[in-house]
Structure 1
Amino acid sequence: MRLAMSAAAVAAAALTACGAPPPAEPPVTETVTVPPRAPETITYPPSVAPPVTQTAASWTMPNLVGTGLQEAQDAIQELTGFGIAVTTSHDATGANRMQVADRNWKVCTQNVPPGATITRDTRIDFGAVKLEESC
């Protein structure tokens, strides 16, 4: 009676006889379904919390005459939480100069009187002169 052995069986028997471990079994694969993660909630400490946007539909126009043009524009943006992000200005001397560097100009007039109610649709225009000039 002859025994037939495969080459792999002969190799495994030879390695086992020499003290080598038998060949490893092929890895078993398994499919695992992972549920989706819930959205994260981020809590900020008070010192780093993002600013809260004002949601008011209207604001009260401040008196900005005498302030720098840039400061007046910044004040409107801050007051309205950028609800009114853009204001316009013109040369109050009538010389029709452009206010390119707003920090070099001061407010002499404003088209919306102090105390008036302003909304997102209000167009605010400042009359301005250069800092060294008089209103």
Structure 2
Amino acid sequence: MRKALLAGLLVLTACSSPPPQAPPPPPAPAEVVLGQTVVPGTKAPSGHIVPDVVGKNHQQAQDTLQAAGFYKLDEEDATGQKRMLVMDRNWVVVEQIPKAGTVLDPKETVKLRSKKYTD
């Protein structure tokens, strides 16, 4: 009788073990946020997303790009007069290279083409 009771307890113990755990769900896709590094392993290239600064004054555009992680900036007079952009707040960005939304290594250059508000 004792052996039967022990055998029954062993069967109950074996049946009461927790079920095997399911593997964790795959990570959610990365959400695109300006200035955020794209998650490695996704189909997107690694780098930062270039923000849209066209239409902003030149100083504000530089501040926006730097906040997004881009510090290597180039600038030029978009009118072709080859003027130096001395007072950045007097200029408006009319073109940026590369375009907004591009994923770019932050070590690469972003070029701002601007003109004076009075042009």
Confirm or deny a common fold (TM above 0.5). Answer: yes
Distance in 1 (CA, whole Å) between partners of 2:36 and 2:103 is 15
Once the two structures are superposed, residues 34-87 of structure 1 have per-residue CA deviations (whole angstroms, 9 ceiling, x without a partner) of xxxxxxxxxxxxxxxxxxxx884621111111000100100011111xxx2231
What is the aligned residue count?
77
Whether the aligned pair in 1 keeps the contact of 2:48 and 2:106 (CA below 8 Å) is no
Root-mean-square deviation (Å): 1.8
Max radius of gyration: which structure?
1
TM-score between the two structures when normalised by the length of structure 2: 0.59
Structure 2: distance between partners of 1:94 and 1:65: 18
Alignment-mate amino acid for residue 106 of structure 1: V
- Structure-2 change in CA distance of 1:55 and 1:126 (3 Å): closer
Distance 1:90 1:55 in 2: 27
CA offsets 1:95-118 (integer angstroms, 9 cap, x no match)? 000001111111000110111002
Residue correspondence of structure 1 range 74-93 to structure 2 within 5 A? 74-80=63-69, 84-93=70-79
Partner residue of 1:129?
A: 115
Identity of aligned residues (%): 30
Q: Corresponding residue for 1:68?
A: 57
Structure 1 residue 132, shift from structure 2 partner: 2.1
TM-score (norm 1): 0.52
One-letter code aligned to 2:111 = D
Q: Distance between the aligned counterparts of 2:36 and 2:90, measured in 1?
A: 32
Change (3 A) 1:63 1:111: same
Alignment of 1:1-135 (within 5 A): 56=37, 58-80=47-69, 84-133=70-119
